[in-house]
Structure 1
Amino acid sequence: VSQLASQVFGRNGFYYFVQGTTALILVLAANTGFSAFPLLAVNLAVDKYIPRMFTIRGDRLGYSNGIVTLGIASIALIIAFQGNTERLIPLYAVGVFIPFTLSQTGMIVKWLREKPAGWQGKLVTNFIGAFISFTVLIIFFTTKFSQVWAVLIFLPLIVYLFHRIKNHYVEVGKQLRMKPGDKEALALEGNVVIIPVAGLTRAVENSINYAKIIGDTVIAVHVAFDRESEKRMEEIWNERYPDIRLVTFYSQYRSLVGPLLRFIDRVEERADDSHMAVTVLIPQFITRKSWHNALHNQSSLLLRAHLLYRKNVIVTTLPYKFKK
């Protein structure tokens, strides 16, 4: 457009008017995607074809998740194609004329099914639109196939992904849906609380006090890496908490998670027979500054990651916040 305007008008006011108008049109075209895609994403999310997070409005009442997703995808395309418009424009054109063709074809199907008053004229209009859009699409595929072939792979993959997401939501709905007369298969009659303890600290003290509130049976578990520390922990524990059972394990290979998981498995089996819930209460340090986390052992995060997908184990984190 710049070259044509320069040849026709020269470098005068008309040339810059054309340039400014073209820039405004491009800005409007770019903004259209960011205003329309979030609404399209909402419709797809409501129909359960994409994650539900796209239905959430941001602080400015816009569908910010859709806007951010489109922005990231745009950045990725620019980086992947190194900002080369000669390679991006064919993809853009195909991306425009495929939905044009589908939407016009959908309207044709609508008129043929419903046949309202004056439907024949509307049918002809949409048929012409679908034919023109499809013709342009075929021209792009035949003349620019080396630049647009990726669409033939991407579209089936994205449609397949949409259907997998839909199936997931349908299955989740079946499992969560309550029907009249439904009752829980297992009536719980108590709660066994297991507390992993590394030593006697204020965080452990808070955990024990909280466990007494929520649990019928409280068991503390300590994994020792040498016999002396194991014996010393038992002596101190029995002196301070004589009413709380302490189970100690000696881990020769300094494995912390393994012994805990094996003990939790045994408790889970017995609790299942007696219709009791099993809760693992994990003390968690909350540092005042984020970089302080690197200075502390994150074994609680590792243990929680192993327990998260246990079907019959409840994982509870009790935070202990540092002041400094």
Structure 2
Amino acid sequence: MLSSIKRFLIGRPLKSNELGEQKLNKTKALAILSSDALSSVAYGPEQILLVLVTVSAAAFWYSIPIAAGVLVLLLALILSYRQIIFAYPHGGGAYVVSKENLGIYPGLIAGGSLLVDYILTVAVSVSAGTDAITSAFPTLHEYTVPIAILFVLFITTLNLRGVTESASILAYPVYLFVLALFIMIGVGVFRVLNGDVPPELHTPVGTPIAGISLFLLLRAFASGSSALTGVEAISNAIPNFKDPAPNNASKTLMAMGTLLAVLFTGIVFLAYQYGVVPKEEVTVVSQIAEHTFGRNFMYFFIQGTTALILILAANTGYSAFPLLAVNLAKDKFIPRMFTARGDRLGYSNGIIILGLFSILLIIVFKGKTEQLIPLYAVGVFIPFTLSQSGMMIKWLREKPAGWIPKFIINTIGAVISFVVSMMFFLTKFSQVWPVLVFLPAIVFLFHRILKHYESVGDQLRLTTCEPIVPIEGNVIIVPVSGITHVVEHSLDYAKSLKPHQIIAVYVPFEREEEEAFERKWESWQPDVRLVTLHSPYRSVIQPLTKFIDTVQRKAAESNYQVTVIIPQFIPKKGWHNILHNQSSLFIRARLLYSRNLIVTTVPYHLKK
């Protein structure tokens, strides 16, 4: 039944040689890998206004030069990540660049930051999309968290079906969103140029505003830079592209940058012209759409497509997180399970873990987007800064032809990214301080995992492991609970191994029971030694393990191997297991951690 449900949800398994069919073309890749960056225009401009409104609505004209600064940073990042794509065509992005050029610790900081950031990508995107829905339908506000969780489960399931299938489905909403915003911006700009927007709605550019300071403007710039989250995703996911992967990834990156610049500029411009003031329960895009079209079909079309892309922007995380996890797992910094492909050739373990942690974040933060965005944004700009700095080192060290312009581009990107990161820490410390806790914790965890893998490899390697003492014989211990076919089957198996000795162990709780069992055993299996361990405290595992320890110590003196054979009957129906006490399971779990002890289970399958 579970297998049927799995097949229904994620589809039939794919053969390994079908991997090439799971690669993305530029059109699908733009939708899947750019959805996070493109969707951020729905809340990036709003973050600028939320800072400026602390002075007054008259200060909104500053959003124009601030937006220009964000576009300069966007250009630097796009050009820089284009260089990263060709320099590191196997993916990995900021993690690989930082590790190879700045060292292990910067690489792990970038990698750990990005892992958490992709989890936040899903949580922020879905929460923002849910906000767009509840803006249009206010009665749904109290159900924000359940709605967001349902969306995460839907996107997780969709990604488990495979990259191309999820791309085929999710491409339509992304392009519908782009189309809707282009229509809104086009109509809005036409209305402004046509004089349909009263000039008194906004303060003229250049008007002196009391209370404005450089610190506040930098804070607004840092907040607005949250619109650039997701720019790095393409460089992490190069292996998902069809060949020639670097060329296709580069063209997709440039297309994404162009679309992001146009949409971001248009929304900031219209928000300023309309004099839009951020409200808690109505997004800036919702207000712009209402000003432009009124509450008609186009308004709901824009809100619907905005909600869709904000939710589906989470798919960028699902595309990039598993691939980053693969790079970290190959370097032995996170569990090897992240390198395994699932039935549909995707890295399903990474997809599932991403979904679970995203749901946890949504529950903890109660789906409040404004609380998640600062933490999300600073988690992006730390890798931005490290990757730009890493590329600077690379150009200085290698000095290839035409390296100076590349070095200048990376330097500009590194400086601006560093300033933005610092502004987040200075202005929103109460919201971003967890970064100072989880990043060192993650780096420490990475090193502990690496140390474990190195230790395991050292112990398993034939050239370094301890010499194995030859086994002179075998002593088999069989815990028995009665005289049954299950025990008989296990004893027959034990005898077939021709051991030095077989010891059956019975643990009675009463003396009368002990004596009666010994008499029955003597007549049933006289050639097998029986040891009874009376247990007045009704524990089976404790006396059994003590006896096994004693036998082990004596066997070690003669280089004998001790093997415990555990009889276990298997019910015909799985649910029948809950009707039995599963003693064999508990015994096996306890004994598996005993050194120099072999534990094996002999199953006996019931027929009815």
Report the TM-score, using the length of structure 1 for normalisation. Answer: 0.93
- Matched with 1:44 is 328
Match of 2:533, SS? Answer: strand
* RMSD value, Cα: 2.0
In structure 1, the partner of 2:313 is 29
C-alpha deviation, 1:51, in angstroms = 0.4
Q: CA deviation at 1:245?
A: 1.1
Partner in structure 1 of residue 370 of structure 2: 86
Residue 596 of structure 2: aligned partner:
312
Query: Across the two proteins, how many residue pairs are aligned to each other?
Result: 323
- SS of the residue corresponding to residue 431 of structure 2 reads helix
Shift of 1:253: 2.4
Query: 2:498 aligned with 1:206, yes or no?
Result: no
Secondary structure of 1:224's aligned partner: coil
Is residue 69 of structure 1 aligned with residue 353 of structure 2? yes
Gaps of 5+ in 2: 1-284
User: Do residues 288 (structure 1) and 572 (structure 2) align?
Assistant: yes
Q: Which residue of 2 is the match for residue 235 of structure 1?
A: 519
Q: CA deviation at 1:167?
A: 0.7
User: Which stretch shifts more, 299-308 or 74-83?
Assistant: 299-308
Letter in 1 for 2:525: Y
Gap change, CA 1:133 and 1:18, over 3 Å in 2? farther
CA deviations 1:165-202 (Å, max 9, x no partner) are 0111011110011129x783300122111000111011
Which residue is equivalent to 2:502?
Answer: 218
Instruction: Give me the whole-angstrom Cα distance separating, in 1, the residues matched to 2:534 and 2:466.
Output: 43
Matches within 5 A, 1:155-166: 155-166=439-450
Counterpart code for 1:207: S
Q: What TM-score does the superposition give when structure 2 sets the normalisation length?
A: 0.51
SS, match of residue 250 in structure 1: coil
One-letter amino acid matched to 1:73: F
Sort the Cα spacing of 1:215 and 1:103 in 2 relative to 1 into closer, same or farther, 3 A. Answer: farther
The alpha-carbon deviation at position 272 of structure 1 amounts to 0.8
**Correspondence for 2:472 among 177, 183, 189:** 189
Aligned equivalents of 2:568, 2:575: Cα separation in 1: 16
Bigger fraction of residues in helix: 2
Are 1:268 and 2:268 an aligned pair?
no
Moved more, 13-22 or 250-259: 13-22
Q: Which moved more, 1:141-150 or 1:287-296?
A: 287-296
Tell me the residue number matched to 1:100: 384
Distance (Å, rounded) in 2 between the aligned partners of 1:219 and 1:77:
54
Q: Once the two structures are superposed, what CA deviation does each residue of 1:63-115 show, in whole Å capped at 9, x if it has no partner?
A: 00000011011101110010111111112211222221121111112212222
1:298: how far off?
A: 2.4
Higher relative contact order (CA 8 A, sep 6+): 2
**C-alpha deviation, 1:322, in angstroms:** 2.2
The 1-side partners of 2:591 and 2:297 are apart by 70
The aligned amino acid for 2:477 is I
Residue 302 of structure 1: how far off its partner (Å) = 2.2
Q: Which amino acid aligns with 2:339?
A: T
Further displaced range: 138-147 or 82-91: 138-147
Q: Note closer, same or farther for the CA distance 1:296–1:174 as it changes in structure 2 (3 Å cut).
A: same
Q: Distance in 2 between matches of 1:197 and 1:12?
A: 77
State the Cα distance separating 1:294 from its structure 2 match. Answer: 3.0
- Any conservation in 2 of the 1:97–1:133 contact (CA below 8 Å)? yes
1:41–1:54 contact (8 Å) kept in structure 2 = yes
| Higher deviation after alignment, 297-306 or 144-153 | 297-306
- The superposition leaves residues 25-48 of structure 1 with CA deviations (integer Å, 9 ceiling, x where unpaired) of 435532111011000000000000
> Which of 130, 136, 143 matches 2:414?
130
The 8 Å contact of residues 195 and 221 in structure 1, kept in 2 or not, is answered as yes
SS of 2:370's partner is helix
Q: Percent identity?
A: 64
- Contact 1:192 1:215 survives alignment (8 Å): no
Query: What is the CA-CA distance between 1:143 and the residue it aligns to?
Result: 2.2
The amino acid that maps onto 2:472 is: E
- Counterpart CA distance in 2 for 1:40 and 1:272 is 47
Question: Which residue identity is paired with 2:314?
Answer: A
Distance in structure 2 (CA, Å) of the matches to 1:251 and 1:19? 70
The whole-number CA distance in structure 1 between the counterparts of 2:385 and 2:399 is 21
Residues 28 and 110 (structure 1 numbering): CA distance in 2 closer, same or farther, change over 3 Å? Answer: farther
Higher strand share: 1
* CA shift for structure 1 position 19: 4.0
- Structure 1 gap ranges (5+): none
Call closer, same or farther: CA 1:21–1:135 in 2, change over 3 Å. Answer: farther
Query: What SS does the aligned partner of 1:323 have?
Result: coil
Match of 2:98 in 1: none
